[in-house]
A and B are shown apart, each in its own frame.
Chain A
Amino acid sequence: MRIFDPHIHMTSRTTDDYRAMRDVGVQALVEPSFWLGQPRTSVGSFLDYFDALLGWEPFRSSQYDIAHHCALALNPKEANDPRCTPVLAELDRYLRKDGVVAVGEIGYDSMTPAEDEALAAQLQLAVDHELPALVHTPHRDKAAGVARTIDVVNESNLPTERVLLDHLNETTVKAAKDSGCWLGFSVYPDTKMDEARMVRLLHEYGPEKVLVNSAADWGNSDPLKTRKVGEAMLADGFTEDEVDLVLWRNPVAFYALSGRLDLGERPTRDDYAGNVLRRGAPADS
C-alpha cells in the first residue's frame, strides 16, 4: 500500500512517527501551516514557522525517504489577531517557493469579518500563484460554515476544481461534493471521522476526488490513520486499486495542480496494486 498523507503537521511529531509512517507505506505528505496550540504574537513567529516547513522539516522527512511538501497561509484562527494579520503581506514571496504546493489551511474558524477578509484575500493569492487551496472547514457550526465557505469560493476567481474542502463528515459531504471541490476527510481517534464511518461514506459517495488524511498534530491524533483506513477499505470489499486511488492517486492529482509536486523516484502503481507477490522485488519501473 502506497500512502500520501495530504494533511499532517509533522512539526508536532517525532522521528519515531516518521519511521512508523514509512514502515506502513507513507511515502509522501503535505504539511499545511496552522496554529501552534500556543497563539502567536508576531509576524516573525510565522516566518520562522514557514522557514521550518521549507527547510528543517523536509530535511527530517527526507531521512525517512518521505517526500515533504507544504501549504502556507495565515490560518483562520489567527486571522482574527491584528498582531498576526500583517503576515499576509509576506505570503507573496513565500508562495513562490518550490516546496509550496497549495495555499492553506485557509477557511473559517468562528466566521468573523476578519476571517472573511483573510479567506478572500488568500483565495486570490492562490489564483495569483497558480496554486490550489486547502480549505479548513470549521468544527463549530460546521454545516453552516461549509455552506458559507462554498459561497466564498464561488465568489472568488479560484475554480472549485482547485479547492480541497477538508474535515468533512456525514453532514457536510453532500454540499461539498455538489460544489465540485475535492473532498478531504480527517480521521482521528475520538473526534472528526473514524475508519468505519469513512468506509461507509466511501461506499455512499464513491472514491473519486476523495482524500483521507490523519491531520495528526500536537493533539490526540494518530499519524497512521491513513493506513488504517486503507485496511478498513480492503476489509469491507474495496479493491487495492480503489485504495490506491484514495490514498495515493487522488492526493497526487490534487497537489500536482500546483505544477510543483516532486515525488522523486518512487515505485509505480503496479508495485502496490494487485500483486502481493511482487512486494520485496526490486522496483524496476
Chain B
Amino acid sequence: MNSPTLPEALAALHAELVEALPEPAAEWLEATLRWAADADWESSFAVATRRVGRAALPRSGMPATDAARVLLLHAVDADLATVTRLYQQGDAAERRAVLQALPWLRLGPEAIGLVEDALRTNDTRLVVAAAGDYAAAHLDQHQWRHAVLKCVFTGVPLSAVSGLAARTDAELIRMLADYAAEREAAGRPVPDDVRNVLAQTPHPQES
C-alpha cells in the first residue's frame, strides 16, 4: 500500500522534525513512517513522545511529538473511523495531534464532531488545535463564532484562529463588541487582539 504524497507544508514539517531529532529518534521516525501501513502503527502513535520528545520545533513551533503523530496519521491515510477512535481513546496530547492532522487527511466535513468536542473543553491546548484550518473550512458559522469567543474567554490569542479575517462577519463583531462592553463595565481590560478585530471591520449599525 502506498502512502499518499506529502503536501509541501507537511514535507517542510517532516524535514524540520528530522533535522531537530537526534540520530536514533530520527531513524525511528523514518522507519515508522515508511512501514506504518504494515505495522502496529497505533502503538507507535501512542509512544511517539517517548521516542521524539516534546521540544518545540524551531520554525513551526510545533512540539516534536505532535509533528510525528500528524505525519504518521497522514502516512497511514487515516480515515474517519480511525481518527475518531484515536481521538476518543487518546490522552490530551494524542487528541491534539488528531485535531492538527484533520486538514491533511482525505476527509470531508464529517470529522467536524471531533472539533466540536474539543471546543466544548476548557483545555486551551485542545481549543487551539481545534481552531485550525479544518474548523475554518468546515465549522458552521454559528459554532465558528462561538469558537472565536471561546478563545477570547480562555485566553487563547486570536492569532490561533485560522481564517479569522475571511470568516469574520457582522454578528461576530457584535458579539466581540458586547464582550468588550462587558469587560469595560467590570473595569477589566479588553485584550488587544479583540480590539484589533473590532477596529478592522466597521461596526455595523444597531437596528
Residues on A facing B (Cβ under 8 Å): 51, 54-56, 58-59, 93, 96-99, 259-260, 262
Contacts and interface: CB of A to CB of B under 8 A. Distances in A.
Nearest to A93: B89
B91 interface: yes
Interface string B92-127: 111100000000000000000000000001111100
Contact of B47 (A55, A59, A96): A96
B49 A98 contact: yes
Contacts, number: 33
Given A96-B43, A97-B46, A98-B49, A56 B121 contact: yes
Interface in B49-93: 49-50, 54, 89, 91-93
9 contacts: A54-B91, A54-B92, A56-B123, A59-B92, A59-B124, A96-B43, A98-B50, A99-B91, A262-B54
A280 B94 CA distance: 37
Contacts of A99: 91
A55 B43 CA distance: 19
Interface residues of B, number: 17
B46 A59 contact: no
Contacts of A56: 92, 121-123
A99 B50 CA distance: 11
Given A55-B123, A56-B123, A259-B50, A98 B93 contact: yes
A98 B123 contact: no
B200 to A, nearest CB: 31
| Central interface residue in B50, B92, B93, B94, by most chain A CB within 10 Å | B92
Contacts of A93: 89
Contact of A98 (B89, B91, B121, B125): B91
Contacts of A51: 91
A98 B121 CA distance: 21
A54 B49 CA distance: 14
Contacts of B43: 96
A165 to B, nearest CB: 28
| Central interface residue in B46, B91, B93, by most chain A CB within 10 Å | B91
Contacts of B121: 55-56
A55 to B, nearest CB: 4
Nearest to A58: B92
Given A55-B91, A259-B50, 9 more contacts: A56-B92, A56-B122, A59-B92, A59-B125, A96-B43, A97-B46, A98-B50, A99-B91, A262-B54
Contacts of B49: 98
Contacts of A260: 50
Nearest to A100: B91
A59 B91 CA distance: 11
Contacts of A97: 46, 91, 94
Contacts of B94: 97
A54 B96 CA distance: 13
Contacts of A58: 92
B88 to A, nearest CB: 9
Contacts of A54: 91-92
A99 B94 CA distance: 11
B125 to A, nearest CB: 7
Nearest to A55: B92
Interface string B114-143: 000000011111000000000000000000
A205 B8 CA distance: 63
Closest 3 CB pairs of A and B: A54-B91, A55-B92, A96-B46
B75 to A, nearest CB: 20
A51 to B, nearest CB: 8
Contacts of B50: 98, 259-260
Nearest to B47: A96
A96 B94 CA distance: 12
A98 B89 CA distance: 13
A272 B170 CA distance: 56
A51 B46 CA distance: 15
A93 B90 CA distance: 10
Contacts of B95: 55
Contacts of B124: 59
A18 B125 CA distance: 19
Nearest to B46: A96
A260 B50 CA distance: 7
A93 B43 CA distance: 9
A55 B95 CA distance: 9
Nearest to B89: A93
Nearest to B45: A96
Contacts of B91: 51, 54-55, 97-99
